Structure 1
Amino acid sequence: MEFQDLSDFDFELPEDQIAKFPAVQRDKSRLLVLGRTQDFLKEETEFSKILDYLREGDVLVANATRVSKRRVFLVTKTERRHEAMFLSEIEPGVWKTLIRNSKKLKLGDILSDEASGKFQLSVERKEEEFTILRSETPLDENSFETIGRTPIPPYFKRESNSEDDVRYQTVYSKNLGSVAAPTAGLHFTPELLEELKNRKIEFLKLELKVGYGTFQSLSEDHFANKKLHEEEFDLPSETTELLNSAKKNGKRIISVGTTTLRALESAYDPNDKTFRAGEGKTRLFLQPEDSILSCEGLITNFHLPQSSLLLLVSAFAEKEKILKAYKFAIEQKFRFFSYGDSMLILDPEKV
C-alpha cells in the first residue's frame, strides 16, 4: 500500500476538549454510536446505555493488562533530575528506557531512584531515542510499585495523583506490564459487567502489554515496512474456544479497544476462520483499505491526530465515516483521548 497522506488524519482540537481528568463516573462518559459501513446508526448517548445496542449472544473481548508504575524519577550524583519511562527489560538487569533530557547523560553515568535511593543504575549505551540502563539491584513490578508513578499520557500536562492510580486502570485489569492503559475499557463498571452477564453477553479477556509505540509518531519507515512497534499478547485457550464458537455460530464479536483488536487480528486465521490460542508478538500496522475480519464491532475512544490508532479505527470502518464522526464529536464538544468519551462501531449486516 502506498504511503498514506497523514494530513487527512489531522484535526484541530480545542484544548478544553482534551480530557485531562476522568469523568465523575466511569460509565457516565458520552457514547457515539455509528455503523461500520453505513449510517444505520448515528446516535449520541452515555456509555451506560451501551446495553441498548448489544444483544444476547454477543461476545465482548477486552484487554485485561494492568498499567505498571514505570514512570520513575532518577537523580544523578550531582542531583540533576531526570524523568524516565522504563519500557522493557531486554536482558536480566538491563532496561530500555525513555529519559527526558537524555542528551545530558553520558555513558557510565550513575543514577539512583529519587523515591528511595535504593536502586542504582548506570548508562550502558544509547540506541536512537532510547537509553539503555543497567541496574545493580534487580527491578521488578513490585519495585516499580514502590518507586514509580502511574505513567499518565504527556498531553495531560500534569503530575499523576492517587485518583489516576485507580482511574487509569480498568476495573477488570489483572497482570502488570503495560506502560499505558487500554483506555476503551476505562468506561466499564462492575455493575455494567454484571448486567452483561445477566443478559447472557460474554465478556472475555486477553492480554496485550501496551507499549510506548502507542504514543509514537508515524514515519515513512512504518508505512514502507507496514510494521509498527512490537507488543506481546496472550490469548487464553478458554477465550479462544469461545471466540471460535462465536465465529462458527455467527455471533457478533466486539473488540473493547484498539489494543484488543490488534491482538485479535494477529491471532485470527481468515482462511479457516479460527483464532489461535497462546502467546504471540504483533507488529501489525492496520490502515485504511485493510480488511479486518476478526470481529464485527469495536468500542474505542477518540484518538490522537495522525496516530496509528486513528488509522486502525479507519481500517475497521470507512475512513470518511470516521473522519465525519470526529468532526461531529469536535462540534458537539465530546471529550477526547485517554480519559475522554467513546464510540461504538457496529457492523450493520450483523445487527
Structure 2
Amino acid sequence: MSLTLDDFDYTLPPELIAQAPLPERSASRLLVVDDGRLADRRFADLPEFVRPGDLLVFNDTRVIHARLHGVKESGGQIEVLVERAIGPHEALAQVRASKPPKAGSRLRLADAFDATVLGRVGEFYHLRFPDGDEVHALLERHGKLPLPPYIQRAAGDDDESRYQTVFAREPGSVAAPTAGLHFDDAILARLAGCGARCAWLTLHVGAGTFQPVRVDDLGEHRMHRERYVIPQETADAIAATRAAGGRVIAVGTTSLRALEAAAQDGPLEAGSEETEIFILPGFRFQVADALVTNFHLPRSTLLMLVSAFAGLETIRHAYAHAVAGRYRFFSYGDAMFLIRNDDAV
C-alpha cells in the first residue's frame, strides 16, 4: 500500500486543542482501542486494563527551560530554542530572527549572557555559551519552559510542575513525554498493586517533534535525531516479562521509539544510541505490545506511528470518535490505550 501525507489528515475543531491541564492528572479521559473496538473510559481506569506480570516502560526525561529571548549585535530581536546540549558549553538551537545570524556573531540572551554563533548544523545553529556554568544550569536560571506551539499562551507557574511528569529526573527535553503527564502517585501505586511492574528509559525529546512533514512522498521524509538511554535493568525487565508471558506497555511514543530502535538489529540491548527511526504502517514491532499515548497532530509522524501500531483504519475511526465525543487533544489533552494489531492495515 502506497501512503501519502493526505492519508494521515483529519479535521480538528480548534476548541478541542487543550490549552491547560485539568486540575488532576488522572482526571483525563481514556479511549481504549482493542482490535477496532472502542471504549470510553477515564484515565483512572487504566489499571483495569493492565494484567499481573505486565511491564510499563516510562520515559523519565525532564523538560528544560529551553526558550530564551534576546538580541543580535545589530539590536534585532531573536528567540532561541535550545534543541540539545552537545557539550558543557555548547548547544544546538533553533534561532528565530528577521535575518539569520552569521557565524562569529554574538547573541545577547535573557539580558544576562552572550552566546557565540559557531555555524550551522542542518536546520540548527551551533552556539557556544560562556565558560563557567554549564548549558543546563544557564537555561535553568535564565530560560523559560517551552510550551508547544499550539498552546497559545506563555508558560505560567502551574506549567512548571504540570508540564513535567511526576517521575521526571533526567534533564534534556524541550517537550514533555505527554502520555506520562496523566500518571500520578496514586495511579502508579494501583498499578503496582495489581501486579504490574514499571521500568524506565530516557529519550530527550527534541524540537523536531513539532516539525511538520513537508513531502507528500513519505519515503523522502527524514526524521530528526534523538538520543536515548536504556538501562540494563530495563532490558532485563523486558526479557523477564517476555519469558513469563507478560506484555510490554510503552508509555508514550518516545518510549516506544526508543524500544523499537534498540531492537531493530536483533534482541533489545541496554545502551545509549541516537535514533531517527520513522515508523509507518507496515512496520514490524519487536518489543511493545500496548501503548499509552495522547492524540496527535494531523499529518504528523506520531499519527503515522500510532496508525502503524493499531491500524490505519482503526486510528481513523478512533480519531473521528474522539472528535465527535469532544475529547481534548494534544499535550494537555486526553489519552488512548492502544493494543497492538499486527494484522490491521
TM-score range, shorter chain: over 0.9
The correspondence for 1:121, drawn from 112, 115, 122, is 115
Are 1:151 and 2:150 matched, yes or no? no
1:245 aligns with 2:240: yes
Please list, as runs of the form range in 1=range in 2, the aligned pairs for 1:304-319 lying within 5 A after superposition: 304-319=297-312
- In the alignment, which of 92, 95, 109 is matched to residue 91 of structure 2? 95
Q: Structure 1, residues 239-285: CA drift from partner, whole Å, max 9, x if none?
A: 111100111222111110000000111122686xx421111111110
SS in 1 for 2:296: coil
Task: Check conservation: 1:264, 1:294, Cα contact below 8 A.
Answer: yes
- Alignment match, 2:281: 288
Whichever residue aligns with residue 135 of structure 2, its letter is D
Normalising by structure 1, we get a TM-score of 0.91
Which one of the candidate residues 245, 261, 264 is aligned to 1:266? Answer: 261
Deviations 1:46-70 (Å, cap 9, x if unpaired)? 1011111112111111111111111
Corresponding residue number in structure 1 for 2:322: 329
CA distance in 2 between counterparts of 1:335 and 1:285 reads 26
Q: Normalised by the size of structure 2, how large is the TM-score?
A: 0.92
SS in 2 for 1:120: strand
Offset at 1:193?
0.6
2:307–2:315 contact (8 Å) kept in structure 1: yes
Judging changes above 3 Å, is the alpha-carbon distance between structure 1 residues 104 and 244 closer, same or farther for their aligned structure 2 residues? closer
- The CA deviation at 1:11 is 1.5
The Cα of 1:227 is off from its aligned counterpart by 4.6
Q: Quote the offset at 1:13 in angstroms.
A: 1.2
Equivalent residues in 2 for 1:32-71 (5 A)? 32-35=31-34, 38-39=35-36, 41-71=37-67
Q: How far off its partner does 1:295 sit?
A: 1.4
Q: Report deviation, 1:91.
A: 5.1
| Equivalent-residue separation in structure 1 for 2:214 and 2:180 (angstroms) | 28
Uncovered stretches (5+) of structure 2, i.e. residues with no partner: none
- For residues 104 and 263 of structure 1, what CA distance do their matches in structure 2 show? 33
CA deviation map 1:32-59 (0-9, x unaligned): 0011xx23x4110110111111121111
- The answer to whether the Cα contact below 8 Å between 1:75 and 1:82 also exists between their aligned partners in 2 is yes
User: SS of the residue aligned with 1:275?
Assistant: coil
Q: Using the alignment, how far apart are the partners of 1:132 and 1:277 within structure 2?
A: 30
Instruction: Single out whichever of 298-307 and 76-85 deviates more from structure 2.
Output: 76-85
Give the deviation of 1:213 after TM superposition.
1.7
Match of 2:161 in 1: 166
Q: Distance in 1 between matches of 2:203 and 2:106?
A: 33
1:77 CA drift (Å): 4.3
**SS of residue paired to 1:73:** strand
* Paired AA for residue 161 in structure 2: V
Are positions 1:12 and 2:8 aligned together? no
Answering whether residue 331 of structure 2 is matched by residue 338 of structure 1, we say yes
- Match runs of 1:187-266 below 5 Å: 187-220=182-215, 223-224=218-219, 227-266=222-261
Deviation (angstroms), 1:289 = 1.4
**Partners in 2 of 1:202 and 1:74 — Cα distance?**
45
- Match of 2:23, SS state, is coil
Q: 1:131 is aligned with what amino acid?
A: Y
Partner secondary structure for residue 116 of structure 2: strand
